[in-house]
Amino acid sequence: MMRRTTQRFLASAGFALAALASSAPRTLSAQAAGSAEVKDTVHATDSTATSRAIVTTSVPRYLVTHGRELHLTAKQSDRIREVAKWLDSANAPLRAQWQQVTGGRPLRSMSRPQRRTLAPQLQPIAQQMKTNNGAALDSVDAILTPPQQERLQAVLQEYRRRMQERQAHAATAPPAQP
């Protein structure tokens, strides 16, 4: 039960992070793209053609860079680093396929009919990435102790709350004047 809850929660947190990254000003996105934590942004779509972003920043990658927050042992850090490497290598060909199908263009820059025509080609890629992320989450869940799992959930809940507040504030704020 804990593993399933963790998986669902972490997937939601990943989507919230992706939404933030896609709505960030261009200069911030460029800075993030050059950082070690965020390598690339890939956009997914569901059958209704609403775009959601999937970023390569994942829970294993987060734990590699923020292991002290959960008091990870050296052995746990090494095992999580291996999971992160596996996830990156498993998703790399999928990201390349995605880029090939979309022509390197983000879905948000395409019209709704264009997104609908690409959806059947992109859905299996997105599903495989979701499967890979689920396997990585299961592996991380097996590595962490129950108190570490609880701490990770608390950290991600706080992150999710902040992102929801930020999105709500952005939705109600007037557009910036040039």
pLDDT in tens, 23-33: 333 332 333 33
114 in Cβ contact with 37 (< 8 Å): no
- 172 in a domain, yes or no? no
Identify the domain containing residue 69 by its residue range: 2-166
**Overall average pLDDT of the 39-60 stretch:** 44
Q: Which of 43-57, 109-123, 162-176 has the highest mean pLDDT?
A: 109-123
103 in Cβ contact with 25 (< 8 Å): no
| Residue 125 φ/ψ region, left for φ over 0, alpha for ψ in the -120 to 50 degree band, beta for the rest | alpha
pLDDT score for 91: 93
pLDDT score for 177: 63
Number of folded domains that form the chain = 1
- 21 in a domain, yes or no? yes
Instruction: Note the pTM of the prediction, 2 decimals.
Output: 0.60
pLDDT score for 50: 33
* Phi, then psi, of 56 in degrees rounded to 5: -75, -10
pLDDT score for 47: 35
- 118 in a domain, yes or no? yes
Q: Does the structure show a pLDDT above 70 at 142? A: yes
- Quickly state the pLDDT bin for 172 (edges 50, 70, 90): confident
